[in-house]
Structure 1
Amino acid sequence: MLGTDDLRFFLAIADAASLAAAARALDVSPPAVTQRLRGLEERLGVHLVDRTGRHLALTDEGELVAERGRAVLDALGDLDEALAARRGRVVGHLRIVAPLGFGRRHVAPVAASFQEDHPEVAIDLVLSDRLGGVPEGTFDLAIHVGEIARAAPGLIARRLAPNDRVVCAAPAYLAARGTPARPAELGAHACIALRENDEDVTLWRFRSPGAETGETEERVRIEPRLSSNDGEVVRGWALAGRGIILRSEWDVAGDLRAGRLVRLLPGYALPDAPVTALLGARRRARAARTRRFLDALASALDPPPWRRPAP
């Protein structure tokens, strides 16, 4: 017979890419995970996981245990929450996924404050710039910055804040290399690429008012000499005068106000990158703790901090 601890243990394995990753999530050693998994399989009399090299895959029996086990834990969580709600308490576990830079600056402070206000809620904040690489069933709430090309079925989207994209560079760079007047001139400049969200980050798209046909789009393929998957690195390179960047307004608004960076091509617009919350399809994603945290985050972003007047 399986207990709730067994189910939580096995779901940690089911949600991980490897036993080593499961061990990190459980904060135990890999041998301890292997030994407990072997004991669980012997007790049930079935093979739950196929291990090939560093990767693992659930067997049909493992898929069944994961599916039914998740439903059992969700039902128990719903019961705990319903009983707690009758006593005016917010309880349970909340798993949030957010982009690295945005998560550090804007989601983490709200998470800490929310947990202080609701001490019976345990929050797990996972920072990742590859939302598509995070299995939908493993989070209750995901924060996404940018266009959402394809959301998984069952996800509920709620827009939290507007956010523009801007092209900018440091005054020192512009003094040395000149200021581009049109997007086509970017080909003669040192452009820096931020590789995130599996986007085509070297194709920059600009919109400008057309004389007769309304807006026209101009596409520029940059050839970056510098690129990184870390927004802080890319912003640091720009501040050091190493080149031109395309960044979210939330990240560079303070630098633009202070004159550390200069906005380029002001007559052209780039695709919007709104801040959006995605609620998971599972019932626990609709729980009071999820809704209340989402309301707290929406309040913290209204008005958006990057559009508030400087103190």
Structure 2
Amino acid sequence: MLDDLNELKTFCYILSVGSLSAAARELDTSVAVVSKRLKSLEQRVGVELIHRTTRALSATEEGERLRNDVERALEALAIGEARLVSGRDEVFGTLTVVAPVSFGRRHVSPVLLQLSEDHPQLKVSLGLDDSLVDLVADGVDIAIRIGQPADSTLRLRKLADNRRILVASTAYLDRYGRPTTPDALKAHAFIRHGSFTANVRLINDDGRAASGIGQTRLSVNNADAAYDWARAGQGILIKSQVDVAADLAAGTIERVLPEWHLGEAPIMALYPMGKQLPRKTRLFLDAMVAALADIRP
């Protein structure tokens, strides 16, 4: 079993540092030993794990899958050993989170930073990405989504209530007027981000629905750039209320048609099914709920 573990560790080191010679230096052994361990591992599993060229090494498809499994197993072993040594129920391992770019930068990043300071043995990896990811395949612990996800085999937890609303800068509204009905939006310029258009379906607090159609004047594929344009007075923008709460309170921007919104879009956390929620995951979820507690739709 010990030889098997050395082979697996060596295999991960080779991919991490990019060559057999560099892996040998990291492991304080010879290139011959590293090469022998890799060959023995490949013979045992019956497939090629690493592509070898004269210039570089890279994992095969089977090698990449094995690498992910081995790294998780080695981390679990390290956590168990650290617990025995410390004698405390400290938080260990790596917490991997993905979140939308704008929301993640404003709200998730500060929470993870505080967690890493409170728990020195915890490693943190944050991915900011507006696209969907495969949590299991990509080795992600938690994905943050804005809006109720479609049917999923993942576990869900609502972190905060949220609505999508219309906003614009005070300067823009002073110049072009403040619409008082959804129909009045046709006279205004919209800033488009992602799938949102200037044709919106609005809901008021009584549950009545209405359509509003504006003119798309500017479009961009980055939420922060779109918000910069809105604050610069270039038009009306659709935003999640959690992202603009601070600026609304400061008076930097205003809600357009404040009695109307574009529907509920709760802040959700998705994570893989499991019999027991890891402590690192539970701590992060609780911290996010606390951080978002003051934001009200």
Identify whether the pair has TM-score above 0.5, normalized to the shorter chain. yes
Residue in structure 2 matched with residue 176 of structure 1 by the alignment? 175
Q: Is 1:186 paired with 2:181?
A: no
Q: Is 1:233 paired with 2:233?
A: no
Deviation at 1:126, TM superposition (A): 1.4
Q: Is 1:246 paired with 2:241?
A: no
Cα distance change of structure 1 residues 89 and 184 upon mapping to structure 2, 3 Å threshold: same
| Cα separation, 2, equivalents of 1:126 and 1:90 | 21
2:291 to 285, 297, 300: 300
Residue in structure 2 matched with residue 140 of structure 1 by the alignment? 141
Cα distance change of structure 1 residues 85 and 225 upon mapping to structure 2, 3 Å threshold: farther
Residue in structure 2 matched with residue 109 of structure 1 by the alignment? 110
Residue in structure 1 matched with residue 29 of structure 2 by the alignment? none
Residue in structure 2 matched with residue 166 of structure 1 by the alignment? 165
| Cα separation, 1, equivalents of 2:14 and 2:143 | 23
Larger Rg computed on CA atoms: 2
| Cα separation, 2, equivalents of 1:277 and 1:85 | 31
Cα distance change of structure 1 residues 263 and 104 upon mapping to structure 2, 3 Å threshold: same
Aligned residues: 268
Cα distance change of structure 1 residues 75 and 260 upon mapping to structure 2, 3 Å threshold: closer
User: In the alignment, is the contact (CA less than 8 A) between 2:135 and 2:271 conserved in 1?
Assistant: no
Deviation at 1:227, TM superposition (A): 1.8
SS at match of 2:216: coil
1:4 to 5, 9, 26: 9
Deviation at 1:133, TM superposition (A): 3.3
Q: Which structure 2 residue ranges, 5 or more long, are not aligned?
A: 24-34, 53-57
Deviation at 1:238, TM superposition (A): 1.1
| Cα separation, 2, equivalents of 1:192 and 1:295 | 35
Q: Kindly report which structure 2 residues correspond to 1:26-105, keeping only aligned pairs within 5 A, or say none.
A: 32=19, 44-45=42-43, 46-48=47-49, 59=61, 61-62=62-63, 65=66, 69=70, 72-73=73-74, 76=77, 79-80=80-81, 83=84, 87-105=88-106
SS at match of 2:167: strand
Cα distance change of structure 1 residues 191 and 57 upon mapping to structure 2, 3 Å threshold: farther
Deviation at 1:250, TM superposition (A): 1.8
1:266 to 249, 253, 258: 258
The one-letter code matched in structure 1 to 2:252 is R
2:280 to 285, 289, 299: 289
| Cα separation, 2, equivalents of 1:227 and 1:115 | 37
SS at match of 2:125: strand
| Cα separation, 2, equivalents of 1:171 and 1:157 | 38
Q: Is 1:207 paired with 2:198?
A: no
What TM-score, normalized by structure 1, do the two folds share? 0.71
Q: Is 1:218 paired with 2:210?
A: yes
Identity rate, percent: 35
Q: Is 1:279 paired with 2:271?
A: yes
SS at match of 2:270: strand
The one-letter code matched in structure 1 to 2:289 is A
| Cα separation, 2, equivalents of 1:276 and 1:85 | 34
What TM-score, normalized by structure 2, do the two folds share? 0.74
Cα distance change of structure 1 residues 289 and 9 upon mapping to structure 2, 3 Å threshold: farther
Q: Is 1:118 paired with 2:114?
A: no
| Cα separation, 2, equivalents of 1:135 and 1:68 | 14
Task: After superposition, give the CA deviation of every residue in 1:228-262 in whole Å (9 maximum; x if it has no partner).
Answer: 23222112111111000111112222322333222
User: In the alignment, is the contact (CA less than 8 A) between 1:173 and 1:242 conserved in 2?
Assistant: yes
1:256 to 248, 254, 257: 248
Residue in structure 1 matched with residue 28 of structure 2 by the alignment? none
Cα distance change of structure 1 residues 272 and 77 upon mapping to structure 2, 3 Å threshold: farther
Q: Which structure 1 residue ranges, 5 or more long, are not aligned?
A: 11-25
Deviation at 1:183, TM superposition (A): 2.4
| Cα separation, 1, equivalents of 2:113 and 2:10 | 27
The one-letter code matched in structure 1 to 2:156 is A
| Cα separation, 2, equivalents of 1:49 and 1:184 | 62
